[in-house]
Structure 1
């Protein structure tokens, strides 16, 4: 288990158990890092997830506070158990994450663009499938934060297990060499980053669409037909056509 995941679980338990009731001021990042023997980036990632859950919130100049108390909802999506679940997850992600990329292109700050680039670069450093899945999720989550819409961040956070699970399946079932897979994903990520940096919303939406469709193909080993093709992707609704992004 990642250190950030472990710390997130520890902090979340303190809220859910009532140890940290609503209104409790969360210790500063440096203090949490010292208490739990981890780095500040690990603490920061755990706090980001708590914010996305709606468990904590920041007060300007005063730090982070518990805002939901023990009633905070730990809702998430059910685990992927079969191919049909996997296809449904990608269909949902296709609908959500293309708009996330488009909004990130329009709304990102310089700091958020730096975070996106950093997350994209971190994928390159991961060789193992477990680490690669986590790094891939961090990239997608950075885009959600740059969309400046907390609902997207919360949704991506709830999809974390499905996204990481999908990347692990690529490693298990893909016929493509691991190094080649990593290079391909990095290229797709960079296409998204380039469009976002250029504030090209349509380009970012299309690049994310290509990435998700290609990811699904890498996992399944084949393309599937769809009964919907968005107008932004080439025309009116169609029946039985495959997604085609080779423009």
Structure 2
């Protein structure tokens, strides 16, 4: 299978990295792709989006369709327009936080937490075995890809940037190292087959404050060491512990912390 790295270096974002949304309406499809890329840090705050004609070409839609998607992103506070200059990505932490997450007592918020827990349950089934297989099958390119994801996460953590995309890139690199494309596809389905609210809520609760990010990084480093060493059973155990800890961190979090 093609093991091309999926994580762009800082400043090297490519629209080819976007997972295609399954939304049927064209404007919704464009909106969902850009929304996910912004709130997960794939497109960083301060980035200037390409001109409308270029964006429309990237998504193969008309400019009116593109403008409808951009209008929704502006309403969410995820982009802003500067007259004569273009559209710029805003800090996702400030984007309609209460509207997207809801109050602690809000029934919709509880349902979103349930969706997230279901995802973690599936990850507990798939990812420990993926780490086991990765330790058995990894090659030099896999080790380099895993190290790259760790470095990008650390860089984002120390510059107060969004870390989620680099967290996912590490887990995807583990899946790629299994040499099993169905495992990669399953992991991508967990990352992308989520509603807009679940995506933003997961981002908001996962890596704040800094101490949580440091814990995630330490757990990733342990998984990496075992995979690099070919210690399959230890890699499996470390991945299971990591996901269990992620569940604990989520349950101990409160939206709008």
Find the aligned partners of 2:113 and 2:251 in 1 and give their Cα distance: 8
Aligned residue for 1:198? 229
Structure 2 unaligned blocks of 5 or more: 1-7, 27-48, 51-109
Find the aligned partners of 1:122 and 1:156 in 2 and give their Cα distance: 20
| Offset at residue 158 of structure 1 (A) | 1.4
Give CA-to-partner distance per residue, 1:10-69, whole Å, 9 cap, x none: 9899xxx9xxxxxxxxxxxxxxxxxx98xxxxxxxxxxxxxxxxxxxxxxxxxxxxxxxx
Aligned residue for 1:151? 182
TM-score, normalised via structure 2 length? 0.52
Change (3 A) 1:166 1:193: farther
Find the aligned partners of 1:136 and 1:178 in 2 and give their Cα distance: 15
Find the aligned partners of 2:120 and 2:21 in 1 and give their Cα distance: 28
Find the aligned partners of 2:200 and 2:210 in 1 and give their Cα distance: 19
Give CA-to-partner distance per residue, 1:136-176, whole Å, 9 cap, x none: 000000000001101011111112235965751424xx8xx
Change (3 A) 1:182 1:151: same
Aligned residue for 1:7? 16
Extract structure 1 runs of 4+ deviating beyond 6 A.
10-13
Find the aligned partners of 2:161 and 2:143 in 1 and give their Cα distance: 25
TM-score, normalised via structure 1 length? 0.54
Find the aligned partners of 1:10 and 1:139 in 2 and give their Cα distance: 16
User: How is 1:12-161 mapped onto 2 (pairs within 5 angstroms)?
Assistant: 81-127=111-157, 131-161=162-192
| Offset at residue 6 of structure 1 (A) | 3.6
**Greater mean deviation of Cα atoms: 151-160 or 89-98:** 151-160
Change (3 A) 1:135 1:8: closer
Find the aligned partners of 1:151 and 1:144 in 2 and give their Cα distance: 9
Aligned partner (choices 190, 205, 221) of residue 252 of structure 2: 221
Structure 1 unaligned blocks of 5 or more: 18-35, 38-79, 223-247
Aligned residue for 1:184? 215
